[in-house]
Structure 1
Amino acid sequence: MIETWGVPALIAAADAAAKTADVKVTAYEKADAGLVTVYVWGDVASVKAAVEAGEAAARKVGKLISAHVIPRPDAEIAAMLRPPSKKEPSAVPAAGTATEASAAEQPDTGPQQQSPDLDTLSVQELRRMARAKPGFPLSGRQISTAGKAVLIRLLLQKDE
């Protein structure tokens, strides 16, 4: 993951990461007051190289806040951060970055085109919905710390 202050630095970081190694730059999340985070998936060595390149690009364009590689994350953490499969609606794809499916297979839909009903809700409202949904994949503590994009993605997932 690469966290920057502002979207221009994030886009530069995501672009550099995607061009450096065989990784998937899957989604981004807005945290608060200009902080944005992009997630990069792939084998550990490729992700490390991609994150290093992304860090350098973010520093050139804007402000890098943090970058971190978690080798082989626990399944619960991976489920929180991974984008949905091709069958499910896309989370919040980062503009101009690779997604789970290539651009030819899946049209790019920006954040404003994702379930407008859920996008208009606050994080607290989304957390209430998640707690009320039977079989929701996150525990209470995980719901309390999950970001808006993660909650929307998991709330939109079809019950399997």
Structure 2
Amino acid sequence: MANYEAIGLIETFGLVFVLEAADAMVKAADVELIGYENVASGYISVLVRGDVGACKTAVAAGVKAVEEMEGGNLYSHVVIARPHQDLEKIISRYSLDKLLP
């Protein structure tokens, strides 16, 4: 994570909500969409990375987008500034690059 200062995550219940969150996040700030993970029983997390301010802006936009949806079901959200380099071992598991040919 040498090139990135922060990661931002949003967890929702349902694919539609996480897609809305991800769309709002990448439109609101200069962040890179890392990927997503279907955590369990319908809970889905989406991850972005970028500088701290961009991640905070992106997460706030994603949270707002989900909350504005009818029945919006936001479970949790967080921005981690300066994540430890060992978190890359976990983050790489969620990478969209693994899904693309």
TM bin, normalised by shorter chain, reads 0.7 to 0.9
| Residue 90 of structure 1, CA deviation | 1.9
- Give the 3-state SS of the residue equivalent to 1:47 in structure 2: helix
Paired position in structure 2 for 1:59: 67
- Give the 3-state SS of the residue equivalent to 1:37 in structure 2: strand
Normalized against structure 1, the TM-score is what? Answer: 0.52
One-letter amino acid matched to 2:97: S
- Give the 3-state SS of the residue equivalent to 1:65 in structure 2: strand
State how far apart, in whole Å, the 1-side matches of 2:37 and 2:23 are.
Answer: 16
One-letter amino acid matched to 1:11: L
RMSD value, Cα? 1.8
Identity level (%): 37
| Residue 63 of structure 1, CA deviation | 0.6
Unaligned 5+ runs, structure 1: 93-108, 115-160
| Residue 48 of structure 1, CA deviation | 0.3
Normalized against structure 2, the TM-score is what? Answer: 0.81
State how far apart, in whole Å, the 1-side matches of 2:98 and 2:24 are.
Answer: 21
Which protein has the bigger strand share? Answer: 2
One-letter amino acid matched to 1:91: K
| Residue 81 of structure 1, CA deviation | 0.6
Between the two structures, name the one with larger relative contact order (CA 8 Å, sep ≥ 6). 2
- Give the 3-state SS of the residue equivalent to 2:81 in structure 1: coil
Which 4+ stretches in 1 moved above 6 angstroms? none
Which one of the candidate residues 22, 34, 38 is aligned to 2:42?
Answer: 34
Paired position in structure 2 for 1:70: 80
Number of aligned residues: 90
Larger radius of gyration: 1
